[in-house]
A and B are shown apart, each in its own frame.
Chain A
Amino acid sequence: MMRTFLGIAAILAITAPGHGASAVNLDGETHSLTVTEGGVTSEVSLRGGETVEFCTNGCFITLPNGDREALSGGEVLEISGGSARIK
């Protein structure tokens, strides 16, 4: 019983709504994004050609060129030439 309970609790704990946004860096060099998600601000750095999944619950990001964007999840952020486009 306890094990079931713990299992469920663990699942609930690691659970986060789906539809995460993803960012892909099409440039050769590393770019970093500032992501504010769940009240916590963090830097996400993307190497050239790397794709990162983040922002499972909606978030705000600051792009390399200083632009801000809000993401509701499910978007694909393409960084090329230092500026970003959202699809």
Chain B
Amino acid sequence: MIRSRSLSAARSALWRSLASLFLLLSLASGTVAQDQTQQPNQPPSIIQQQNASLDKLTNQLQALQARVKDASDDDAKLVDVRSELDNLSRAVIDSGVAFRPRLTQINDRLTQIGNPPAEGEPAEPEVVAKERQALTAEKAEINAVIGRAEQLSIGVNNAVNEIATLRRDLFAHMLTRRYTIDYALFGEVADAFQSEGAAVWRTVASWLTFVMQYKLESVLAACFFALGAAAVLLIGGQRLLGRLYEPNAAITNPTVLGKLSVAFWSTLLKSATVSLFLGVTWLFFDYFQVLRGDIGEMMWSLFQVISIVYFVHRLGLAILSPRLPSWRLIPVVSRAASLLVALSSTMALITGLDYFLSSVYQLRSSPLSLTVGESLLSTILTGLLVVLIGFIRPFADENGKPRPWPRWAKAIIFLLGALIIVPALMGYIGFARFVSRQVVVTGATLALLGIGLLSARAVAEENALVATRFGRGLRRRLNLDETTLDQLSLAMSVAIYLLVIFGGIPLILLQWGFQPADIWMGIGRLAEGFMVGSIRFSPIGLAIGLLIFALGYFVTRWFQGWLDGTVMARGKVDVGVRNSIRMMVGYAGYALAALIAVSAAGINLSSLAIVAGALSVGIGFGLQNIVNNFVSGLILLAERPFKVGDWVVAGAVQGTVKKVSVRATEIETFQRQTVIMPNSELINSAVANWTHRNKLGRLDIKVNLAYGMDARRAHVVMMNIARAHPLVLRNPEPQVVFLNFGAAALEMEMRVFLADVLNQNSVQNDLRFAIMEAFDREGLEMASNPRAVVEKKGTVDPEEEALIAEPAPEPAPVAATPIEEPVSRRRKYRS
């Protein structure tokens, strides 16, 4: 091992020295190469092109590095630069990859020419030596350019790492920076607030004057349009949703789903209306050029804050519904509901105002003390509100009296409050602000997700959808039965879960300081796939695989149906063959779809083959039976010893074949019991099929004639009966066989052939009745063991009794048609 390593090291060293020798040679013969590459009319060579593009990329990198330095305190800008750096890195690699065709050409040619002759060998022609020199020179040049690209890529990656470090430091700095809080600060804040307030007021006032004087019509028009748009949304939404957008006080016990949909739609519709109004107003202001200077930015952030605060407020109202207890989603007492809504809305308002003011300070580059003072106030207020929430008694106990939060919830609430207030008082304003914003925004997001999850659960409940108006409408419109609707509701619930999870996680990540670009990049990478060990896992590939399999499945189903229903039905193909072909086509189609899907999902079939090889021993032992049955099923489908509808006897099982599938065959016995019989048994042991080629079948009826009777007479009687029956075939002719001189009887057997053996039940009934009746008439007796005579008292009249005592009368002449003779029959039974 060690030896081979050292050998290879020596070899690679040799290669390197050879390469450097070539490099020297090529440098020495640079003139030759130049002669070849720098023809006046030639387009720029790949080396020149890529050199130029690398120059450009280097410049871009420098520009981006400069931007990193400028924006070292702005997280969002750093993220932007980072995504540009990612693109740059890709471009650098592409520029290196661009050499591949030329490199392949050179390498191929060099291999063709071969190595220079060793010492002592005959010299090669000069042309060959020159060409080799030229090629090696070009290769060396390309290597140099690729080396340059490599250096550049290292530079790009260093910049990416630098940004990561900067962002981490920035966040840590924001959280850990401590501001001194003392009396002087309050004085400073008061002064700054006055001066800044006056300045902002001046700006706003001058803008208002400007608007009043020059732009009043535009402003009115903008407001009008915005109101119009909002009204369209609100009225249209209300029309569309019916009474779904607000709780109906008349309904005292709404369903969970009803409550949820009202909560959802009322929040969405009203918040969207307000946001639309503000957004449209701002757009039109911008369009009419009403906004001047900082006013635009300030107004934008104010509008954002208003939208969000209103949304939080509506959300609180929707979940807690202080006025209508029956519509409350969380079972809290009414007083607590109003308090909770008030507190959470106030908290949102304070946080929103803090956000708005901080953006104003940033615009005006206000003194830091102002930011610190204002943030201190707002964070402490938020913290106090959080603590106040902890004092609320939200739930009712058994007696209906309010009781406080559970201990753990209270502990969490107080801890959060402390996490905001204490750091703020200690001067860690950044940290306090971070936590308080998280509490408000993450809280709202979690509440929203909670509604989503609740509704997913409610939809999944049995008959939940059927009870709603939407469900009823769906049912009427699409003609669905209850079960389908229930399954639909289950699918809907899964969809809602997915939506909540995939919509909610990015929302939460945004709160935790991830930038949208980060999330996008993450999602992109996730979708492209990642390596777990040496196995690549790619969600998109997997989804595509599943999609392809579903597609293949449906195409197969359709093809099966078409082949069976259209082609084979019209071609008058036998039902059994149709069934076989249908099954075969189905299995082939599914297998094909699965194969394509597996390879589309990016799962390497060869690696599966290795696994299959390893498992084959196990399969040989463990799955032997299954495989046996499977192969047997294929044989059954191909060979068709029986088909669906045949009457078969397999071992102890006798019945009609209902379905031949790949592992087992379903046989329905005449008692209507379904027997699932493994195919291997049907292949390995004898199967009797009554209806294999045709339905012709023989029916045997045994008759034991008593000794002393006229056997010939009985033969004639029975032959006549057999011939007289309409379902008995003339050809082959019915037979009556005198089988045996039995110990107790003359054994005879009537054998008749039926066109359809399935009729045997009714035929044998007819024949037996007829034989008995004819024997009675003829005075022929069947042999039977003597048995006790049971006479019911008072049921036998004296006349009959006299008859019984007498010996049997002479048998009447043969009559083909049975005549009722109740008296003689009774006598016979008693003998």
Contacts and interface: CB of A to CB of B under 8 A. Distances in A.
Is chain B found bound to chain A in the same assembly?
A: yes
Interface of A: 1, 4-5, 8, 11-12, 14-20, 28-32, 36, 38-41, 48, 53, 56, 58-60, 64-72, 82-83, 85-86
22 contacts: A1-B508, A12-B525, A12-B526, A19-B528, A29-B7, A31-B8, A36-B150, A36-B153, A58-B93, A60-B93, A60-B96, A65-B19, A66-B143, A67-B107, A68-B96, A68-B146, A69-B100, A71-B97, A72-B94, A72-B97, A82-B12, A85-B104
A86 B100 contact: yes
A1 B531 CA distance: 26
Given A20-B531, A36-B154, A39-B161, A12 B522 contact: yes
Interface in B146-193: 146-147, 149-150, 153-154, 156-158, 160-161
B65 to A, nearest CB: 14
Interface string B1-18: 000110111011001101
A18 B538 contact: yes
Contacts, number: 130
B696 interface: no
A4 B505 contact: yes
Nearest to B160: A39
Which 6 interchain pairs have the tightest Cβ spacing? A70-B96, A39-B157, A66-B19, A18-B529, A58-B93, A60-B150
B214 interface: no
B11 A39 contact: no
Nearest to B7: A29
Given A12-B522, A29-B7, A39-B154, A65 B18 contact: yes
Nearest to B6: A30
Given A30-B5, A70-B93, A85-B107, 6 more contacts: A18-B536, A32-B8, A36-B150, A39-B158, A66-B20, A70-B96
B534 interface: yes
Q: B160, B522, B524 — which one has the most chain A CB atoms within 10 A of its CB?
A: B522
B525 A58 contact: no
Interface string B77-119: 0000000000001100111110110011001000000000000
B275 to A, nearest CB: 27
Assign chain B's interface to a size class. Answer: 35 or more
A50 B32 CA distance: 41
A11 B143 contact: no
Contacts of A60: 93, 96, 146, 149-150, 153
A66 B11 contact: no
Interface of B: 4-5, 7-9, 11-12, 15-16, 18-20, 89-90, 93-97, 99-100, 103-104, 107, 139, 142-143, 146-147, 149-150, 153-154, 156-158, 160-161, 446, 505, 508-509, 512, 522, 524-526, 528-532, 534, 536, 538, 602
- Max count, chain B CB within 10 A of own CB: residue among A39, A41, A82: A39
Contacts of A28: 4
A36 B89 CA distance: 12
Nearest to B100: A86
Nearest to A36: B150
A30 B9 CA distance: 8
Contact of A29 (B8, B154, B509): B8
Contacts of B530: 11, 14-18
A56 B150 CA distance: 16
Contacts of B512: 5
Contacts of A39: 153-154, 156-158, 160-161
Contacts of B160: 39
Contacts of B149: 60, 70
Contact of B15 (A4, A59, A64, A86): A64
A38 B158 CA distance: 9
Nearest to B5: A30
Nearest to B150: A60
B103 A67 contact: yes
B4 A68 contact: no
Given A1-B446, A30-B5, A38-B157, A16 B525 contact: yes
A69 B96 CA distance: 7
A66 B97 contact: no
B804 to A, nearest CB: 96
B4 A66 contact: no
Contacts of A14: 530, 532
Contacts of B15: 64-66, 82
A17 to B, nearest CB: 5
B139 A67 contact: yes
Contacts of B538: 18
Contacts of B20: 66
Contacts of A4: 505
Residue from B93, B94, B103, B143 with most neighbouring chain A CB atoms (10 Å)? B93
Contact of B526 (A11, A20, A40, A82): A11
A64 B530 CA distance: 29
B93 A53 contact: no
B526 A64 contact: no
Contacts of B505: 4, 8
A59 B150 CA distance: 8
Nearest to A38: B157
A20 B508 contact: no
Given A39-B161, A86-B100, A68 B143 contact: yes
Contacts of A41: 154
Contacts of B103: 67, 69
A86 B104 CA distance: 8
Nearest to A70: B96
Given A5-B508, A8-B505, A39-B156, A68 B534 contact: no
A63 B93 CA distance: 17
Contacts of A30: 4-5, 8
Contacts of B12: 31-32, 64-65, 82
A8 B161 CA distance: 22
Contacts of A36: 150, 153-154
A16 B5 CA distance: 32
A5 to B, nearest CB: 7
A67 B146 CA distance: 10
A86 B11 CA distance: 21
A60 B104 CA distance: 16
B150 A15 contact: no
B481 to A, nearest CB: 38
Contacts of B90: 58
B531 A70 contact: no
A68 B95 CA distance: 13
B503 to A, nearest CB: 13
B529 A70 contact: no
B153 A29 contact: no
A71 B12 CA distance: 21
Contacts of B18: 65-66
A83 B107 contact: yes
B91 to A, nearest CB: 10
A20 B525 contact: no
Nearest to A56: B531
Contacts of A32: 8-9, 12
Contacts of A83: 107
A15 B526 contact: yes
A36 B153 CA distance: 9
Nearest to B526: A15
B534 A53 contact: yes
Nearest to A73: B93
Contacts of A40: 157
A17 B143 CA distance: 27
A15 B143 contact: no
A1 B121 CA distance: 77
A74 B399 CA distance: 70
Contacts of A17: 524-525, 528-530
Contacts of A69: 96, 99-100, 103, 146
A70 B146 contact: yes
Nearest to A58: B93
A71 to B, nearest CB: 7
B526 A29 contact: no
Contacts of B509: 5, 8
